Amino acid sequence: MVNIKINEAIDDAFNNLRIQWKWFVVIGILLLVIGILALANVLIATVASMYFVGVAIITSGILQIIHAFQLRDRSYVLFWGGCGLIYTIAGIAVIADPVMASSALTLLLAITLFCLGIIRIWQGARSWHYAGNGWIIFSGILSLLLGILIMSGWPLNSLWIIGLLLGIDLLFQGWLYLLFGIAIRPKNT
């Protein structure tokens, strides 16, 4: 009985998606176009993404400050308000100098990839007796090499790495939406 209701709920949800298939296609095409534009000028895409990040950080900071003054226990107001203030200042710094922010973010990305590569290689070697450990090691080597590659070109590559990754992600998301919309469209259209 419960399985039947779950299956009916899943069918209803899928049918609601199917009705909206054209929106998936339209969004997919828009994301593809934006992705192509981002890849055509990765510098502008990098700076634009830094402005977006800056606004998001400022918004988060302001919300934290507002939340701090809503607390009943006033001993926490200074802590939460201070955290919100730090966020707000960081967001203003990102907007004031998006090139420096992209440089810092690119370095952080390189260090993260480098460290993840080492951890994956170590985990894959440690799991040598499990099937698929070679893929873990391979993934680790790729992450490690990508981290080294980004570090070796830093800080000059900071002007295009974020924009490049954003453009690639937008292309993949665009294809996902487009192909999903086409896959779920009703058969009679």
Domain-by-domain residue ranges, the chain? 22-184
Q: Decide if 129 contacts 185 (C-beta within 8 A).
A: no
At residue 5, does pLDDT exceed 90? no
Quote the CA–CA distance of 55 and 46 in Å, as a whole number: 14
**Residue 141 CB neighbour total at 10 angstroms:** 14
Closest CA to 117 of 81, 78, 148, 80: 148
Q: Is 130 exposed, middle or buried (0-12, 13-18, 19+ CB in 10 A)?
A: exposed
Of residues 131 and 83, the one with the higher pLDDT is 83
Quote the CA–CA distance of 25 and 179 in Å, as a whole number: 7
Give the chain's mean pLDDT. Answer: 89
Cis upstream peptide for 98 (omega within 30°)? no
DSSP per residue, 10-76 = HHHHHHHHHHTHHHHHHHHHHHHHHHHHHHHTHHHHHHHHHHHHHHHHHHHHHHHHHHHHH-SSGGG
The structure tokens listed for 92 are: 């203003």
Quote the CA–CA distance of 37 and 173 in Å, as a whole number: 14
> Which tens digit of pLDDT belongs to each residue from 56-110?
999 999 999 999 988 877 778 888 899 999 999 999 999 999 999 999 999 999 9
3-state secondary structure of 141: helix
User: pLDDT-derived band of residue 15, with 50, 70 and 90 as boundaries?
Assistant: confident
Quote the CA–CA distance of 76 and 119 in Å, as a whole number: 37
Quote the CA–CA distance of 186 and 184 in Å, as a whole number: 6
Quote the CA–CA distance of 92 and 59 in Å, as a whole number: 10
The mean pLDDT of 118-127, rounded to a whole number, is 90
